[in-house]
Amino acid sequence: MSIQLGESDFQILKCFPVISQLRPHLEQAKFVEQVRYQMKGGYQLAFLEVEEQAIAVAGFRISTCLASGKFLYIDDLVVDELKRSHSYGKQLFQWLIEYARNHDCEHLNLDSGVQRFAAHRFYLMQRMNITSHHFSIQL
């Protein structure tokens, strides 16, 4: 088992089967191009690999804002639905915390859909706090 950053096109594409479980609207043929585009803005993919297969994937970025100072924001966090409840998510989450600390972040943040009850239980078990409501409008 290892956790690493997806840097090559091969590594990025290896993450698609897992991340598409969270983001089913994504198209495999456009996935690497989309990730490469987001990487220009600081986006990164980390993945936990077992026997050369991505089991858990996190898309994240480091940013700074007036409200939080420097922070690591998790855009995407998912464990393969057939591999859940084996602490892979916890291991990747702890890796993200260490990554944030090593990059002098003051906070680790994420948003989660209101319907994702299992994810909320996981985040609360990781000692995260619910600190705000996120509002959105489709344009």
pLDDT, tens digit, 9 for 90 and up, residues 55-111: 999 999 999 999 889 999 999 999 999 998 899 999 999 999 999 999 999 999 987
139 belongs to a structural domain: no
Q: Is residue 17 one of the residues assigned to a domain?
A: yes
Mean pLDDT of the chain: 91
Nearest alpha carbon to residue 47 among 13, 71, 84: 13
In a domain, 106, yes or no: yes
pLDDT tens digits, 107-121: 999 877 767 766 777
Q: What is the rounded average pLDDT of the residues 128-138?
A: 76
User: Residue 137 domain-assigned?
Assistant: no
Within-domain flag for 138:
no
Q: Is 39 a domain residue?
A: yes
For the chain, the domain total comes to 1
In a domain, 75, yes or no: yes
Q: How confident is the model at residue 124 (pLDDT cuts 50, 70, 90)?
A: confident
Query: Is 12 a residue whose pLDDT tops 90?
Result: yes
Residue 29 lies in a domain: yes
Q: Which structural domain range is residue 17 located in?
A: 2-125
Q: What confidence score (pLDDT) does residue 3 get?
A: 97
Residue 117 has a pLDDT of 66
* CATH code of the domain covering residue 10: 3.40.630.30
